[in-house]
Amino acid sequence: MRHWRHRLLPVAVGLASLALLAAVVELMVRSSLINPFIMPTPSSVFGSFGRLIGEEHGLARLGATAAEVLAASVLITVVGVPVALLLHWRVRLRAAFESWVAALAAAPLVLAYPLFLVLFGRSQLTIVVMAFAAGVAPVILKTVEGFAGVRPVLVDVGRSLRLTPSQLFWKILLPAAIPSIFVGLRLGLIFALLTVTGVEFLINIGGLGHLINELAERYDMPGTYAAITFVVLVSVIFFAILESGERWLARSAR
């Protein structure tokens, strides 16, 4: 009963709300309250999934987008967290660069795609590099914030117990900063996914962004919306992975 209330009920309410929203949109489109040329009926979107997988290699494209997002996310993590640590440890570097990193986080980097095309060619490498550039800034900012926000008394406890600098880092600073680091990783993932699909759309290569562009040009609206649903699916998968990663870390720190 507890399990049902705490875990399954919220999922059920979420899915039921989604179904209700789809039903309302379906009715509005069918009754022409929404122009059917702009918005296809949810049932026709749902009906396009099979066609997308069979004829348009939807799963392969989903795989390509997921692989690009994964590569960018790994890069964002392995570069972003150490850079943030450097900025945390070197106060002058932090004073010099933190505002620039914040500016990078707010910059619409996707618009600079011609420059990246010249530098890295019309390939998946360009997509991954651009997604990395768009997603790394929030990870750096939130990680720096996480380490700076560790309560001094926790460090004092570690010092009073004569922890080595390495023990102090792994056993106190890092676990204390983890929640903030994961907020950064979530933001980085959102930015990376937006950039991957945006650049795929713009330069017409790769996975789902490319597919959305093709379908939209053919004016296949149900297919376009179905492909967008696939992007949402990629996002859901990555968020689930990130969440279980955070839970695993929390459990291992207990």
Site size for another protein (CB under 8 A): 19
Our CB check for another protein shows the closer of 62 and 183 to be 183
159 binds another protein (CB under 8 A): yes
Minimum CB separation from another protein for residue 131, in Å? 30
CB 165 within 8 A of CB 101: no
- Interface residue with another protein among 178, 194, 205, 237 (CB under 8 A) is 178
CB 26 within 8 A of CB 43: yes
172 binds another protein (CB under 8 A): yes
Span near another protein by CB under 8 A; candidates 67-75, 161-169, 207-215, 224-232:
161-169
Minimum CB separation from another protein for residue 149, in Å? 13
194 binds another protein (CB under 8 A): no
Contacts of 141 (CB under 8 A, 6+ apart): 84, 98, 101, 102, 105, 184
253 binds another protein (CB under 8 A): yes
Written as six digits, the tokens of 116 are: 């990246």
170/154 Cα distance (integer angstroms) = 13
- Segment 151-158 long-range contacts (CB within 8 Å, at least 24 positions apart): 151/176
219/199 Cα distance (integer angstroms) = 20
77/246 Cα distance (integer angstroms) = 13
List the x/- string, 136-155, binding to another protein by CB under 8 A: ---------------x-xx-
166 binds another protein (CB under 8 A): no
Span near another protein by CB under 8 A; candidates 35-43, 117-125, 165-173, 209-217:
165-173
